[in-house]
Amino acid sequence: VVGLGNYGLWGTRHSVGMEVLDRLARQLAVAEGWRMDKRCCADVVLATAHGLELVLLKPRRFMNLNGLSVASAAEIYNLGPKDIYLVHDDLDKPLGKVAIKLGGSARGHNGVQSCISALHSSEMTRLRIGIGRP
């Protein structure tokens, strides 16, 4: 599960994906376990939920380069595009509205496009969180 965003720009709508992962880590009681993994240039924590082993990932790169971290982590943890869930902001959805989408285009989202390019696939599931237009 990848929280897309601009690392270090906490509290901005554009980094809502990372904030969702922080909340998920707290709910799974692994929030104290985040560690920097230099191999994929990301903060990583492992968790278990409903019998599934999860890798939670917050790339430490700018949004348009998040895919490099995701592709490296996919290789390290032996994951394919279909195993990856991207959590990201969506300007075209009203604030707080959520949608799940399987595959498809990036719809203008630079972080998603970076992941598609780095993984050579658009088959990732996306949790799109509405942030509305300013």
* Chain segment 24-44, per-residue pLDDT in tens: 999 999 999 999 999 999 999
Concerning whether 88 is annotated as a catalytic residue, the answer is: no
In sign, the C-alpha dihedral spanning 21, 5, 87, 46 is negative
- State pLDDT tens for residues 7-22: 888 778 889 999 999 9
Q: Is the pLDDT of residue 112 over 90?
A: yes
The answer on pLDDT for 70 being more than 80 is yes
From first CA to last CA, the distance across the chain in angstroms is 27
Quick one: three-class SS letters along 92-107? CCCCCCEEEEECCCCC
With cut-offs at 50, 70 and 90, classify the pLDDT of residue 79. very high
Options 14, 50, 109, 120, the catalytic residue: 14
Whole-number pLDDT of residue 57: 98
- CATH 3.40.50.1470 for domain 2-130: yes
List 47's β-bridge partners, or say none: 54
Q: Which residues contact 91 (CB under 8 A, 6 or more apart)?
A: 131, 132, 133
